[in-house]
Every structure is written in C-alpha cells, then in structure tokens.
C-alpha cells in the first residue's frame, strides 16, 4: 500500500534543485496501487501531478495537490529471436540503468542515449534523443493507465505520434494518462550510429567500436559539455531547436552568414537554439541566482537558491530577445508546473 506524505519537499526530486513543497506526495509501485491512489485523489478533488525523475520539470511554486511518482519496476523479456529482443520495462526504472543493462547484454539501439537522466516511463513523452538516435526508433508500444476511466491502454509506436521532442502524450493526451510500462525492441546484432557530432572522433580513443565503447564515448562527451545536475541545477536543454520556413532561413542567412542550418525536408529548416541564444549574447550570462551555462547556451542553470519563477523569468527574457533579433519564437522544452 502506498504511503502519503504531507508538505513534502521536492528539492531533491527535481534536477533544477528548486526548493518547493507539495501538499501531498506518494509513490506507487504497481498499476493497482496507482488506480487506488487515483480514486483517492479524485475523492479529495485536488490537482494531480505525475513526477518521474524530475529532470525535465520546472516548479514555479508550491504544489497544492498530489504529486505521484510511478515506481513500477522490472525488465521483462517479452519475446526474442536470433536478431531481436523485446523488453517490457516498468515506468519507474531509471533510464540510464536500463541503457547500461542492455549494453552489458550486447543489445543495441539505445547506447547513444546513455546518461540521459530520468525514468524509462518518461522517455516516450518527449521522444528523448541524442547523438542521432531518438527513442521512437526502438519503442514497440507504451502502456498507460487512463486517469479518468482507470482503464489500461496500449499505444503502438505509430499511435504515439512521435516527432522531434514530441508525442501524443505531450499533446492530445497530455495529463490524461499515466505511463506504466514501455516495450522496446533491441538488436542482437547491433548497427552502430556514429555519424553525429564528435562521436567518431571520441571513439578514436578506444581500441574497438562496440556498444560498450560507444556508451563510454557518449558519457565522456556529455560529461565534458553538460553541467551535472548534482553539482549545478539544470534540466538539460531548456528550449527546443526551432524549425522555420526555408525562405525565412534564407533571409536570415543574408544577415547572419555563419548561422548553422539543417534541412528538414518539406521546405523546413532547423536552426540550433543554442547558436541563436549565444548570438544574442546570453552565453555564460549570470543574473543573480540564475544564468545561461558557460559551455552550453541551451542550458539554464540554478546557481544555488533560485526560485522557479526566477528561472522562468530568464527564459522569457531570452525568448523575447530571440524574437527581436531573429523574429524566431523559441519553444520551451521543459515542463513548467
Ligand atoms: C543534464 C540533463 C541532460 C539531458 N539531456 C537530454 C537529452 O540529451 N535528450 C533528451 O531528449 N532529453 C534530455 N534531458 C531531459 C530529460 O532527461 C528527459 O526529458 C527525460 O525523459 C525526463 O524524464 P524524467 O523521468 O526526469 O521526467 P520528469 O521531469 O519527472 O517529467 C517530465 C514530464 O513527464 C511527465 N511524466 C513523468 N513520468 C510520467 C509517467 N509515468 N506518465 C505520464 N507522465 C509522466 C511529467 O508530468 C512531466 O510533465 C536532459 C535533462 C538533464 C537534466
């Protein structure tokens, strides 16, 4: 049975390290527990927030309701043949522990997603991605508990409507489902994806290219570039990379000849948000308790005692300056609560 804690501090439960409290907090380790808990929450008629590892949220104040963490554990082999293995994973499993486990078994597909913080159950929500891989490439299906009906559902990959840092769980179904399990299909004869960023260069330091060395290379690159939330509060990339019309990108390139751009097909161009923020002069800037990381302009940081509102205020100022300078709207990737 789940235990409900009152006036619970979430400081250690969000990677920004923002010091906020929730009126009630609980963890549920099975679908049955989650259903019982939702029934209780409905009786009390207080707001609900589902929390995973807290690495993609910004709390802007105390939460006057129930925060629940799905703590469903387990990695179960669903099927396998000589080429593929399908694994059903509980939402409460730590994502990077799962990646490490698969790499050790020599099952390929998620090694490039090493060291992304958070829970396995959250990975479909924004279709986590890094180093040329998105988790949609290996997801078979996503199981959920519907908050209003308490029925369970299974969404096949194509029903999840995955996109760049996007899925149906961020849009039409936002706040309506609790993800309980995710099933992945991994390869027993892995095909490596190395043509992204400086991965190949980093792998030159290794004798062999295999899942272990790729994982190690990704971890080393990430550790050299990104601030560790345990040391300095952050939620990774705060903004999404904007995708704009080709004609607008062409106009901007007349003014900013050094602007990087990536063709997305269908007349769309992706521009790195980090470049825009750096060009607007924000890189390394500190304002009181908050700032833009000195090595990675996409990452907003909490230097100590920042409130969520201070971080959000900085984000709004950055968005405003990007509109003024480039006429581009930056979307926030982090979930504001
Ligand atoms: C240092 C750092 C680096 C990062 N690097 C990357 C990166 O390279 N690529 C990338 O894509 N992301 C990256 N992120 C972002 C983050 O790690 C991912 O978005 C991750 O999937 C968030 O998982 P979480 O469990 O911490 O989610 P949380 O922050 O707890 O929650 C995120 C959202 O999902 C909802 N939610 C959580 N669990 C469930 C559930 N079981 N059912 C329904 N809704 C749920 C929450 O309500 C919230 O809206 C990084 C973050 C940090 C701090």
Per-residue pLDDT, 197: 78
Per-residue pLDDT, 195: 86
Mean pLDDT of 167-171: 96
**Is the pLDDT score of 2 beyond 90?**
no
Instruction: Please answer whether residues 124 and 116 qualify as being in contact, where contact means their C-beta atoms are separated by less than 8 angstroms.
Output: no
| Domain covering 75-225, topology | 3.30.465
- Could you say which architecture CATH assigns to the domain 233-336? Alpha-Beta Complex (3.90)
Nearest to 168 by CA among 149, 180, 155: 155
**Is the pLDDT score of 308 beyond 90?**
yes
- Could you say which architecture CATH assigns to the domain 5-70? 2-Layer Sandwich (3.30)
Check residue 302 and give left, alpha or beta (phi > 0: left; psi -120 to 50: alpha). beta
- 16-74 pLDDT, tens per residue? 999 999 999 999 999 999 999 999 999 988 999 999 999 999 999 999 999 999 999 99
Are the folds of 5-70 and 233-336 the same?
A: no
Catalytic residues: 165, 237, 333
| Token code pair at residue 180 | 């309980």
Give Cβ neighbours of residue 250 (< 8 Å, ≥ 6 apart): none
Nearest CA to ligand 1 atom 53: 235
Size (the chain), residues: 337
Distance, CA of 278 to CA of 48 (rounded, Å):
37
To test ligand 1's pocket by mutation, which of 26, 27, 48, 56 has the most ligand atoms within 8 angstroms of CB? 56
Give Cβ neighbours of residue 119 (< 8 Å, ≥ 6 apart): 52, 53, 70, 91, 92, 93, 94, 95
- 233-248 pLDDT, tens per residue? 999 999 999 999 999 9
Rounded distance from Cα 335 to ligand 1 centre (Å): 9
CA 45-47-51 angle, 5° bins = 135
Nearest to 235 by CA among 18, 34, 70, 48: 18
Nearest to 330 by CA among 259, 264, 247, 240: 240
* Domains in the chain: boundaries: 5-70, 75-225, 233-336
Per-residue pLDDT, 207: 87
Rounded distance from Cα 236 to ligand 1 centre (Å): 9
- What is the average pLDDT value for the chain, to the nearest integer? 95
Per-residue pLDDT, 250: 94
- 101-112 pLDDT, tens per residue? 999 999 999 999
With a pLDDT cut of 70, the percent of the chain lying above it is: 100
Distances (CA, A) of 53 to 50, 136, 148, 178: 10, 20, 24, 14
**Is the pLDDT score of 125 beyond 90?**
yes
**Is the pLDDT score of 287 beyond 90?**
yes
**Is the pLDDT score of 318 beyond 90?**
yes
Mean pLDDT of 155-179: 96
The ligand 1 atom at the shortest distance from the C-alpha of residue 14 is: 29
**Is the pLDDT score of 1 beyond 90?**
no
Report the pocket of ligand 1 as residue ranges, CB < 6 Å.
15, 49-57, 70, 91, 116-119, 121-123, 125-126, 128-130, 178-179, 226, 229, 234-236, 335
Mean pLDDT of 134-159: 98
């Amino acid at each position: 049975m789940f235990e409900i804690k009152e006036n619970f501090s979430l400081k250690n439960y969000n990677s920004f390290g923002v010091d906020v409290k929730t009126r009630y907090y609980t963890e549920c380790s099975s679908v049955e527990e989650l259903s019982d808990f939702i029934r209780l929450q409905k009786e009390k008629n207080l707001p609900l927030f589902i929390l995973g590892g807290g690495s993609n949220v910004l709390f802007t104040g105390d939460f006057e309701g129930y925060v629940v963490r799905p703590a469903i554990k387990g990695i179960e082999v669903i099927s396998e043949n000589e080429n593929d293995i399908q694994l059903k994973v509980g939402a409460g499993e730590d994502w990077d522990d799962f990646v490490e486990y698969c790499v050790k078994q020599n099952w390929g597909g998620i090694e490039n997603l090493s060291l992304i913080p958070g829970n396995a159950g959250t990975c479909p929500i924004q279709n986590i991605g890094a180093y040329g891989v998105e988790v949609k490439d290996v997801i078979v299906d996503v199981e959920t508990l519907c908050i209003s009906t308490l029925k369970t559902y299974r969404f096949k990959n194509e029903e999840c409507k995955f996109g760049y840092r996007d899925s149906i769980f961020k849009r039409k179904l936002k706040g309506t489902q609790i993800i309980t399990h995710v099933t992945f299909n991994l390869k027993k004869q892995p095909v490596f994806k190395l043509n992204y960023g400086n991965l190949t260069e980093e792998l030159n330091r290794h004798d062999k290219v295999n899942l272990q060395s790729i994982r190690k290379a990704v971890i080393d690159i990430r550790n050299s570039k990104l601030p560790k939330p345990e040391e300095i509060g952050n939620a990774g990339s705060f903004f999404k990379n904007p995708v704009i019309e080709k004609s607008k990108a062409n106009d901007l390139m007349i003014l900013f000849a050094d602007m990087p751009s990536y063709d997305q097909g269908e007349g769309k161009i992706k521009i790195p948000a980090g470049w825009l923020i750096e060009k607007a002069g924000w890189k390394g800037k500190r304002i009181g308790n908050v700032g833009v990381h000195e090595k990675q302009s996409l990452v907003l940081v909490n230097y100590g005692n920042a409130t969520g509102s201070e971080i959000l205020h900085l984000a709004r100022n950055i968005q405003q300056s990007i509109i003024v300078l480039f006429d581009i709207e930056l979307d926030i990737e982090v979930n504001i609560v």
